[in-house]
Amino acid sequence: MADIAALMKLIEPEAKALGLDLVRVAFFGGKSDPTLQVMAERPDTRQLDIADCEALSRRISDKFDEIDPIEEAYRLEVSSPGIDRPLTRVKDWADWSGFDARVKLAAPLDGRKQFDGRIVSSDGDSVTLGVNKLGEVTVPLAQIASAKLILTDALIKATAPLSTEGVDQIVEDAPRRGAGKIQLEG
């Protein structure tokens, strides 16, 4: 199995050289489909376009061809973190304060290994979530096995593309169940 910390040290300078922030490096798929997943974003937009993915993929491939840090064959996947993005960095908790997250713990806290709630605050060592029926729950970041944003209308609105360049037409649908939708056609 690949050493993720060592891979991050190799990949991060390649992302930075392109003006990107590294969000996550993960290795999954086991023996049947080993995949090195690299998520990155532009710090000013929190987005990544296809040209960014291609450029980062090339830089990583070139770097890995030089030093070969992974012994077995694998697939390289470079992508944006997406709308329901993983929360992997300390800064993510402050950046996404006020939005809903699903937090899975390595070990139970108050008898639970998962909490879904609104991100209330983070102090760099822990995050406080507002959890329905429980109130505020503070979780040490060191105990979090994985965390990600939960797809909600508020998140969709907050992460709408900054530009609709290349879209032929914007069609506004009539509101349904109290929420309007915008459909991009092109």
Over the stretch 106-157, which tens digit does the pLDDT of each residue have? Answer: 999 999 999 999 999 999 999 999 999 999 999 999 999 999 999 999 999 8
Distances (CA, A) of 10 to 7, 22, 56: 5, 11, 12
Q: What ranges do the domains of the chain cover?
A: 4-79, 90-151, 154-185
The per-residue pLDDT for 162 is 55
CA torsion, ordered 150, 57, 43, 123, to nearest 10 deg = 60
Asked whether the domain spanning 90-151 has the same topology as the one spanning 4-79, the reply is no
- The span from the first CA to the last CA of the chain, in angstroms, equals 43
Q: What is the mean pLDDT of the chain?
A: 87
- According to CATH, the topology of domain 4-79 is GMP Synthetase; Chain A, domain 3 (3.30.300)
CATH code of the domain occupying 90-151: 2.30.30.180
Q: What is the pLDDT of residue 169?
A: 54
The percent of residues in the chain predicted with pLDDT above 90, rounded, is: 72
Q: Please state the rounded mean pLDDT for residues 90-97.
A: 95
Q: CA-to-CA distance for 50 and 57, rounded, in angstroms?
A: 10
Structure tokens of 106? 């390595």
